Amino acid sequence: MSIFGALNSSASALTAQRLRMDVVSSNIANAQTTRASINENGEVEPYRRKMVVFEPEDGSFQSFLHKASNPSSTETGGVKVSRIAEDDSPFKLAYNPTHPDANQDGYVQLPNVDPLKEMVDLMSATRSYEANVTALNATKSMLLKALEIGK
């Protein structure tokens, strides 16, 4: 492992968690958006909750086998965002016959965004981000101490 492997790993995690916080913020901002997209039938649909999906930077079996058989390998771990997926859970229905998007029965389809879930997800992403900043700072401190040994 190179001396910068831990820095690269923490940096990739910081980038991924930052995107996760951005997606959660978008979900919270659109929690009441009833006209976000048009489906295949030409009808308007509410906003669908989005979720970030992570995967290892190099998650192939071949890479894991290479790392296990060659411990002095310079390949580093890390995480990347593989995609941003939409939540397929059903929309919430609320009775509001005066709403412009209400159906014939007076019900309005609201986004499938639960603010409580989003806040928990945001707290988790924030804690992960803070942990990676701490790991990054510890690695930086160790590298600086190693440089001071040579003086």
pLDDT digits (tens, 9 = 90+) for 85-108: 999 999 999 999 999 888 899 999
Lowest mean pLDDT among 30-39, 106-115, 117-126: 30-39
Provide the β-strand partners of residue 50.
Answer: 86
Q: How many angstroms separate the CA atoms of 117 and 96, rounded?
A: 24
Contact 79, 55 (CB under 8 A): yes
pLDDT digits (tens, 9 = 90+) for 18-70: 999 999 999 999 999 988 888 888 888 899 999 999 988 876 667 667 766 77
